[in-house]
Chains A and B, each alone.
Chain A
Amino acid sequence: MADEEEAELSEKQKIDIAKWFLLNSPPGEIQFVAKDVKAVVNDDVLYEEAASEAFPLYNKSHMISLEMPGGIGEVLVTSFGELEGTEFLDPRTAQVAVVDHIKQVCTDVRPALDEELPSAYVEEFRCALDAEILRYVGEAYPKGVCSVYCGNGKDAEGPGSDFELVVVISAARHSPQNFCNGSWRSVWIIEFKDDVQILELKGKLQVGAHYFEEGNVQLDAKHECKDSTIFQSSEDCAITIGNIIRQHEAEYLASLEASYSNLPDTTFKDLRRKLPVTRTLFPWQNTLQFSLTRDITKELGIGK
């Protein structure tokens, strides 16, 4: 009896477990996971609490995109655009989207307040870069959504102060009917350093994929890179940054492809070879012989 009581999980533990499952959902699968978690936890109150904590974290880390009402475009749910609670800024349209995290929909929009937007000086750089990234994403990602946020220094009024822009690219593909889901997420933080007239770029790329027809196989790939360039006019900065991002992302894709093509003959071989070292199938037919020999050696007392 005492044992059973000890084994019984506390409510906190149950919530933590539910959250763990939700947060480990593969790209695009949290709703399916949620349904199963709800059944397994079997306590709606606890489940709701776990969901209310896990969904916002999942949505932001997966940087999901949601259609805004009125057909004005899609908003990305990211920590860079997060205002208060369920509000997320869409810098391109200068709208603030109200998000229902658990349903994963945008329920309402309102125009952003002046203090939520960057200064005219910063906005000039942001807007130029946004146009450039939009063009690049349109070319490189069939289903990509992108946003350029102002990270720090959004109130910089003109030359003489530093500021920071953040480029977010998120592309997701969900095809449960083909048992396959995946997502590509890039975050590029660009520091505009006024004093040294240099731009420093830091990129974080993350790619995930899940294939689950009669099995469960997942890819989880991450890469970080750095680059820098000189401070120029807003237009020129935008073009240079766009090119740097394009180049790094193309290189990364090539290295992913290389990792895949190295699998069969090198990487995988360290786990199991395709054929034995002898390059022929294992001689099972000799096993009878093998055991006879062994019996004989044993009888003769000349064992190993």
Chain B
Amino acid sequence: MEAAMGLMRRMPPKHIDTALSALLSLLPQHSSDLLSQVDQPLQVLCDSEYGKEFILCEYNRDADSYRSPWSNIYHPPLEDGSLPSVELRKLEIEANDIFAVYRDQYYEGGISSVYMWEDDNEGFVACFLIKKDGSKTGQGRRGYLQEGAWDAIHVIEVGPDEEGTTNYRLTSTVMLSLTTDNESAGTFSLSGSIRRQMNMKLPVQEGHLCNMGRMIEEMESKLRNSLDQVYFGKTKEMVCTLRPPAEIVMRLPDS
């Protein structure tokens, strides 16, 4: 299992699905561990009743069916598929509506889905998912990207109410890939995945949605920033170490 995770850290992020299915076939005995520890690019299905797409993940899956957050119905249909409580479903509906607005403001398109379920210690878990195709042929409004994908997975464990405050434990993963292609610069492709955690104890006065939303917004900005500044920056640094730009070469003393 350790070796499998080691491989996942080294394989090109744009081939995550191939790498994962290869590991699943080699290590069938570890399939549940692999599926829970390796985040994969998100898939979507269309909710026939609402004519809206929703995102698939382990959290809305029961057997081979996935529950749509819009109609609360499993696709393909499943009898006695597990459902959240009435109370939680209400919050889930609200979260989906609001998160769709949030998603549109930051992503100018894309698909989002929120799923919630009760957990064993009087709290609940919420999973917020966003998928954006930013390519020219997808929803990239500026048309810079030949290929561009952003998948975000935010899982928040919400603890029980303790005298007006609650513990929130957020685990977020962002997977992205982008490729630009043009005559003068050739193909330029960056892909990556990072995962971070954040814990907060917050008053519930303003409501869970408000707290979870703020945490996700902060986390997404952090992840975007570190991908952009740190991770992409490090690969750029590497390129400039391999072949320093001319002005640096000239400054080096003759050896």
Shortest CB-to-CB span from A57 to chain B, Å, is 16
**Is B28 in contact with A262, judged by CB distance below 8 angstroms?**
no
B108 partner, pick from A38, A211, A219, A277, beta carbons under 8 A: A277
> Given A7-B28, A217-B13, do A36 and B6 touch, yes or no (CB 8 Å)?
yes
Closest to A269 in B: B142
**Is A221 in contact with B148, judged by CB distance below 8 angstroms?**
no
* Binary per-residue interface labels of chain B (6-26) against chain A in the complex, 1 for a CB within 8 Å, 0 otherwise: 111111111100110011011
**Which of B54-62, B77-85, B207-215 is near enough to bind chain A?**
B207-215
* Binary per-residue interface labels of chain B (109-139) against chain A in the complex, 1 for a CB within 8 Å, 0 otherwise: 0000000000000000000000010100001
**Is B134 in contact with A270, judged by CB distance below 8 angstroms?**
yes
Answer yes or no: A301 CB below 8 A from chain B CBs.
no
Taking CB atoms, residues of chain B closer than 8 Å to A219 are 188-190, 232, 235-236, 238-239
CA distance A278 to B217 in the complex (A): 14
**Is B10 in contact with A25, judged by CB distance below 8 angstroms?**
yes
In A238-292, which residues have CB < 8 Å from any B CB? 249-260, 262-264, 266-278, 281-282, 284-285, 287-288, 290-291
Shortest CB-to-CB span from B86 to chain A, Å, is 15
Shortest CB-to-CB span from B103 to chain A, Å, is 9
**Is B132 in contact with A216, judged by CB distance below 8 angstroms?**
no
Taking CB atoms, residues of chain B closer than 8 Å to A45 are none
* Binary per-residue interface labels of chain B (184-226) against chain A in the complex, 1 for a CB within 8 Å, 0 otherwise: 1111111111111000000000110110011001001100110
In A190-211, which residues have CB < 8 Å from any B CB? 205, 207, 209-211
* Binary per-residue interface labels of chain B (165-196) against chain A in the complex, 1 for a CB within 8 Å, 0 otherwise: 00000000000101010001111111111111
A217 partner, pick from B2, B232, B243, B246, beta carbons under 8 A: B232
Residue of A143, A249, A268, A273 with most chain B CB atoms under a 10 A cut-off: A268
Shortest CB-to-CB span from A141 to chain B, Å, is 5
Closest to B140 in A: A270
Answer yes or no: A94 CB below 8 A from chain B CBs.
no
Shortest CB-to-CB span from A257 to chain B, Å, is 7
Taking CB atoms, residues of chain B closer than 8 Å to A25 are 10
Shortest CB-to-CB span from A175 to chain B, Å, is 9
What is the total number of residues of chain B having a CB less than 8 Å from a CB of chain A? 87
**Is B189 in contact with A223, judged by CB distance below 8 angstroms?**
no
Closest to A254 in B: B245
Taking CB atoms, residues of chain B closer than 8 Å to A173 are 238, 241-242
* Binary per-residue interface labels of chain A (25-42) against chain B in the complex, 1 for a CB within 8 Å, 0 otherwise: 110010011011111110
Taking CB atoms, residues of chain B closer than 8 Å to A7 are 25, 28
CA distance A222 to B182 in the complex (A): 11
CA distance A138 to B132 in the complex (A): 45
Shortest CB-to-CB span from B129 to chain A, Å, is 14
CA distance A211 to B94 in the complex (A): 39
What is the total number of residues of chain A having a CB less than 8 Å from a CB of chain B? 89
Residue of A21, A37, A274 with most chain B CB atoms under a 10 A cut-off: A21
**Is B187 in contact with A222, judged by CB distance below 8 angstroms?**
yes
Taking CB atoms, residues of chain B closer than 8 Å to A276 are 102, 105-106
**Is A40 in contact with B210, judged by CB distance below 8 angstroms?**
no
**Is A281 in contact with B217, judged by CB distance below 8 angstroms?**
yes
Taking CB atoms, residues of chain A closer than 8 Å to B63 are none
Taking CB atoms, residues of chain B closer than 8 Å to A61 are none
Answer yes or no: A161 CB below 8 A from chain B CBs.
no
Closest to A250 in B: B246
* Binary per-residue interface labels of chain B (220-255) against chain A in the complex, 1 for a CB within 8 Å, 0 otherwise: 110011011001101111111111111001000000
> Given A171-B242, A217-B232, A267-B178, do A140 and B249 touch, yes or no (CB 8 Å)?
yes
B176 partner, pick from A13, A139, A214, A271, beta carbons under 8 A: A271
* Binary per-residue interface labels of chain A (144-184) against chain B in the complex, 1 for a CB within 8 Å, 0 otherwise: 10000000000000000000000000011100000011111
Shortest CB-to-CB span from A214 to chain B, Å, is 7
Across the A-B interface, the 4 shortest Cβ-Cβ residue pairs: A223-B186, A217-B192, A276-B105, A215-B194
Between-chain CB contacts (< 8 Å), 23 pairs = A24-B12, A26-B10, A29-B10, A142-B242, A172-B242, A183-B242, A207-B242, A217-B192, A218-B13, A218-B192, A218-B235, A219-B232, A219-B235, A250-B246, A255-B184, A262-B144, A268-B224, A268-B228, A269-B142, A271-B149, A282-B101, A284-B214, A290-B98
Q: Besides the contacts A266-B144, A268-B178, A270-B139, what 16 more A-B pairs have beta carbons closer than 8 Å?
A: A26-B10, A40-B4, A182-B241, A205-B186, A212-B9, A216-B192, A217-B193, A259-B185, A270-B142, A271-B132, A272-B220, A276-B105, A282-B217, A285-B210, A287-B98, A291-B97
